Amino acid sequence: MPKSVIKTTKKKAGSGQEKILFRAPRGMHDILPEDQPWWNKARKTIDEVADFYNFSRIDTPILEEAAIFEKGLGTTTDIVSKQMYVLRTKGGDRLVLRPEGTTGVIRAYFEHGLSRLSQPLRLYYVGSFFRYERPQAGRYRELHQVGFEMIGGEDDPIYDAQMILVSFRLAEELKIKNLIVQLNSIGCRNCRPVYRRRLQEYYRKMSSGVCKDCRARLNLNPLRLLDCKEENCEKVKSGAPTIINHLCQSCRSHFKAVLEYLDELGLPYTLNAYLVRGLDYYNRTVFEISSENNASFAFGGGGRYDYLGEIIGKRKTPLPAVGSALGMERLIEEMRSRGVNGTLRSRGRVFLVQIGSPAKIKALGLIEKFREANIKALESLGRASFKSQLRIADKEGVDLSLILGQREVFEDSIIIRDMKSGNQETVPIGKMVEEVKRRLK
């Protein structure tokens, strides 16, 4: 991960100041105050987009029972077989630091009887997830995701299109441009087994040309053969049969309708016949979103998962559902590499400079006046020197500083200093907020 997004532990942290005894665990990061503007902007935009498309927030525990992920994601997926942080509690429970959010949300859907609410239920979440991966640029062991899920109701293809739309709009709102949506359908219980057999037949003939992992996948989870990034395996893949040619009539018309909705919305997309995704719970539509900056490195992905409800719930019939998740570190990296400013400047900002004890005491009350007027008043009340306070005001990039010295306290006035021009004017304290508002317009 470039230094610009979050501090890497390799950097000589606090160089020259403190000796380091402990570092953050490998692949995990501190998000420092200087990084927060981008995170805040992302969080605020997520809340706005979710609100606009009528998604309600849900928060589920960081730990879930291990069996949920084993059943829900599939024991042969990389996430379950290699990447889960599993722990045993003192009481003997086997729990996992959640590697993804969808499974926990579906668990909560059943546990709290959320099918009684209007369906499809639209939920979103933001939080930490954990995957024991080999850390590298854009790949961490603690990662943050925003996820959107639409659960229940019909398996109407319009929801698939809406889910892609929400993910697309979120990236757009974060000023990430030249977006690429890759799309595929991986069929259903009826048509996928036929395709799986075709794929196995093909790969059996080519097995000498693929990696060791892929030879194991051939029997365990043949669809995952299409997800291998090894150079030789990529070559073999290019000749493999495609699932799109093996879809049943019903999956074919579902997928066609998704594409028609996307066309109607004017959302650009590319068909990728080999897109399968790394989790077993998907059926029909699957998609990934990246940008032209790095087309092969998705910052978001999702799809339909109608069978997950049956797998981890007690249902005897599918629970139609479609969802998407976007990696926040990757989104923020995209924002920063495009020079998107992280600062939220919804409120006016001023800096209060105080000189001498009476001014310091009075400053406390003046800050409250600004709070009432919804103007953010910064200060450095612990500092006495006029110069050092002004220097901080300058660094903070405020438009105005308010200067309160002994004379002003005595005269019940305050000096307003325009930080750009350096012009100063003394105004009565009673008119301070009004005068500041006028100048901040």
Terminal-to-terminal C-alpha distance of the chain: 39
In whole angstroms, the minimum distance from the beta carbon of 22 to ligand HAM comes to 22
CB-based contact 80:74 (threshold 8 Å) = yes
Q: Which is nearer to ligand HAM, 301 or 320 (CB)?
A: 301
Asked if residue 301 binds ligand HAM (CB under 6 A), the reply is: yes
In whole angstroms, the minimum distance from the beta carbon of 300 to ligand HAM comes to 5
Which residues have CB under 8 Å from 145's CB, separation 6+?
A: 100, 101, 125, 126, 127, 129, 325, 326, 327, 328
Other C-beta atoms lying within 10 Å of the C-beta of residue 250: 14
Asked if residue 299 binds ligand HAM (CB under 6 A), the reply is: yes
Q: Which is nearer to ligand HAM, 102 or 291 (CB)?
A: 102
Q: Which of residues 149, 155, 379, 408 is near ligand HAM by CB under 6 A?
A: 149
Asked if residue 101 binds ligand HAM (CB under 6 A), the reply is: yes
- Rounded-to-integer distance, Cα 254 and Cα 276, Å: 17
Per the structure block, which two tokens stand in for 296? Answer: 């092969």
Asked if residue 280 binds ligand HAM (CB under 6 A), the reply is: no
Asked if residue 182 binds ligand HAM (CB under 6 A), the reply is: no
| E strands, 305-390, in order | 321-327, 349-354, 376-379
The secondary structure of 8-67 as a DSSP string is: -TTS-TTTTT---S--PPTT-----GGGHHHHHHHHHHHHHHHHHTTPEE----SEEEHH
CB-based contact 115:109 (threshold 8 Å) = yes
- Rounded-to-integer distance, Cα 276 and Cα 162, Å: 20
Asked if residue 369 binds ligand HAM (CB under 6 A), the reply is: no
How many whole angstroms from its chain centre is CA 1?
15
x/- site string to ligand HAM, residues 49 to 88, per CB under 6 A? ----------------------------------------
Asked if residue 140 binds ligand HAM (CB under 6 A), the reply is: yes
Span near ligand HAM by CB under 6 A; candidates 37-45, 94-102, 236-244, 251-259: 94-102
Q: Which of residues 45, 162, 324, 389 is near ligand HAM by CB under 6 A?
A: 324
Span near ligand HAM by CB under 6 A; candidates 96-104, 231-239, 251-259, 358-366: 96-104
Asked if residue 102 binds ligand HAM (CB under 6 A), the reply is: yes
Q: Which of residues 298, 350, 359, 393 is near ligand HAM by CB under 6 A?
A: 298
Q: What angle do CA 84, 90, 93 make, to 5 degrees?
A: 50
In whole angstroms, the minimum distance from the beta carbon of 117 to ligand HAM comes to 18
Asked if residue 327 binds ligand HAM (CB under 6 A), the reply is: yes
Task: Find, among 160, 109, 126, the residue nearest to 322 by Cα.
Answer: 160
Q: Which of residues 98, 131, 192, 246 is near ligand HAM by CB under 6 A?
A: 131
**For 351, phi and psi rounded to 5 degrees?**
-125, 130
Asked if residue 180 binds ligand HAM (CB under 6 A), the reply is: no
Counting beta carbons within 10 angstroms of the beta carbon of residue 159, is it exposed (0 to 12), middle (13 to 18) or buried (19 or more)? buried
Counting beta carbons within 10 angstroms of the beta carbon of residue 410, is it exposed (0 to 12), middle (13 to 18) or buried (19 or more)? exposed
Asked if residue 173 binds ligand HAM (CB under 6 A), the reply is: no
Span near ligand HAM by CB under 6 A; candidates 40-48, 118-126, 257-265, 302-310: 302-310
Q: Which is nearer to ligand HAM, 45 or 102 (CB)?
A: 102
- Rounded-to-integer distance, Cα 108 and Cα 124, Å: 13
In whole angstroms, the minimum distance from the beta carbon of 165 to ligand HAM comes to 15
Q: Which of residues 95, 143, 206, 319 is near ligand HAM by CB under 6 A?
A: 143
Q: Which residues of 13-32 are buried (b: 16+ CB within 10 A; e: fewer)?
A: eeeeeeeeeeeeeebbbebe
Asked if residue 139 binds ligand HAM (CB under 6 A), the reply is: yes
Q: How many residues bind ligand HAM (CB under 6 A)?
A: 27
In whole angstroms, the minimum distance from the beta carbon of 135 to ligand HAM comes to 8
**Which residues contribute to the site for ligand HAM (CB under 6 A)?**
100-102, 131, 133, 138-140, 143, 145, 147, 149, 278, 298-303, 305, 323-327, 329-330
